């Protein structure tokens, strides 16, 4: 029987994952693919985070660097200049919330953790900046281990796999072995939808998401507003929210524990309906 963890130790406070949760996305960059420029102003970011928490988000993921296909890499100093004013205000305004820092720079992660951030969300599995691993070890915080083929600037240039699910699984197993050897226990796995994958690769991963339960770590999915939705529906102009909700529901059905989402209210509705559906299928106990 596969063991499924139900909590994460976030710097001494347990985050309950018995029921799936939502990680709200806060991009504070000018060029993020969906909401670039909306929350570069700190006051606007505060309002958005307050809204996401009120709608039910358990984690707020703050990113100062775009990871859209073709994005260029910012230096650690430039990235920190983007996120530092936001993090200081957010952590002061919402002391009960869980915050993650979306970065692949060790320097940015360390400074964010010094301010009080709880989780490191690294799209690169410490391959862009190998020093990031030591930061996670030093601070004993949960770590999001994501798969990406290549780097943001080049990842969508003809990605290829022998078998995408097996290849991503092998990558995760190798990385988890290193993390376990270094006593990093609270790890979230993310197959990396859209990060060096074709549309077919993305849907194969979603279809076989249950396979990643064998890793015995919570599964996070980043499907929100991804191009796989617009491409299939042949419509790149709409907000992709309906398609996002469909994919979130499929991900929940296939084992996802964390939905990383722009629209928290919609993601929460997916979780509520998914829970009610499963409750209806539970055997009725007779008195």
Instruction: Please report, in angstroms and rounded to a whole number, the separation of the first and last CA atoms in the chain.
Output: 29
Q: Does residue 4 sit within a domain?
A: no
Give the chain's domain count: 1
Own/partner pairs, 281-285, CB within 8 angstroms, 24+ separation? none
| DSSP SS3 for 7 | strand
Q: Does residue 32 sit within a domain?
A: yes
Read off the pLDDT of residues 130-150 as tens digits, 9 standing for 90 and up.
999 999 999 999 999 999 987
The answer on pLDDT for 287 being more than 50 is no
Catalytic residue among 260, 275, 276, 286: 260
To the query of whether residue 226 is one of the catalytic residues in this protein, the response is: yes
The answer on pLDDT for 6 being more than 70 is yes
The answer on pLDDT for 213 being more than 90 is yes
Q: Does residue 284 sit within a domain?
A: no
Q: Does residue 72 sit within a domain?
A: yes
SS3 letters for 66-112? CCCCCCCCCCHHHHHHHHHHHHHHHHHHCCCCEEEEECCCHHHHHHH
Q: Does residue 69 sit within a domain?
A: yes
Q: Does residue 136 sit within a domain?
A: yes
Banded model confidence at residue 151, pLDDT cuts 50, 70, 90: confident
Computed over every residue of the chain, the mean pLDDT equals 92
- How does DSSP classify residue 187? E
Catalytic residue among 110, 217, 226, 257: 226
Q: What is the CATH number of the domain that holds 161?
A: 3.20.20.20
Query: Which class for 140: exposed (0-12), middle (13-18), buried (19 or more C-beta within 10 A)?
Result: middle
> What pLDDT score does 49 carry?
97
> What pLDDT score does 153 carry?
60
How far apart (Å, rounded) are the C-alpha atoms in residues 165 and 208? 7
Read off the pLDDT of residues 240-261 as tens digits, 9 standing for 90 and up.
999 999 999 999 999 999 999 9
To the query of whether residue 238 is one of the catalytic residues in this protein, the response is: no
What's the number of CA atoms in the CB half-sphere (13 Å) around residue 207?
Answer: 9
Residue recorded with tokens 């660097």: 65
pLDDT (average), residues 55-59: 98
């Amino acid at each position: 029987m596969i063991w499924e963890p139900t909590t994460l130790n976030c710097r001494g406070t347990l985050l309950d994952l018995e029921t799936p949760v939502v990680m709200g996305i806060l991009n504070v960059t000018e060029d993020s693919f969906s909401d670039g420029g909306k929350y570069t102003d700190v006051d606007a970011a505060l309002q958005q985070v307050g809204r996401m928490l009120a709608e039910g988000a358990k984690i707020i993921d703050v990113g100062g660097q775009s990871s859209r296909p073709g994005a260029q890499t910012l230096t650690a100093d430039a990235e920190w200049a983007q996120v530092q004013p936001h993090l200081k205000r957010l952590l002061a305004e919402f002391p009960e919330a869980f915050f993650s820092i979306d970065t692949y720079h060790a320097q940015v992660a360390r400074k964010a953790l010094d301010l009080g951030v709880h989780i490191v969300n690294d799209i690169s599995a410490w391959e862009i900046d190998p020093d990031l691993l030591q930061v996670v070890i030093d601070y004993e915080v949960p770590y999001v281990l994501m798969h990406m083929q290549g780097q943001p600037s080049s990842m969508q240039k003809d990605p290829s796999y022998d078998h995408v699910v097996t290849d991503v699984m092998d990558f995760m197993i190798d990385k988890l072995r290193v993390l376990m050897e270094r006593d990093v226990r609270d790890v979230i796995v993310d197959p990396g939808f859209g990060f060096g994958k074709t549309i077919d690769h993305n849907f194969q991963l979603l279809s076989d998401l249950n396979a990643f339960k064998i890793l015995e770590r919570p599964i996070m999915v980043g499907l929100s507003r991804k191009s796989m939705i617009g491409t299939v529906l042949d419509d790149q102009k709409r907000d992709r929210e309906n398609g996002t909700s469909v994919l979130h529901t499929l991900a929940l059905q296939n084992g996802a524990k964390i939905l990383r989402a722009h629209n928290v209210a919609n993601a929460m509705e997916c979780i509520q309906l998914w829970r009610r559906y499963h409750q209806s299928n539970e055997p009725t106990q007779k008195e």
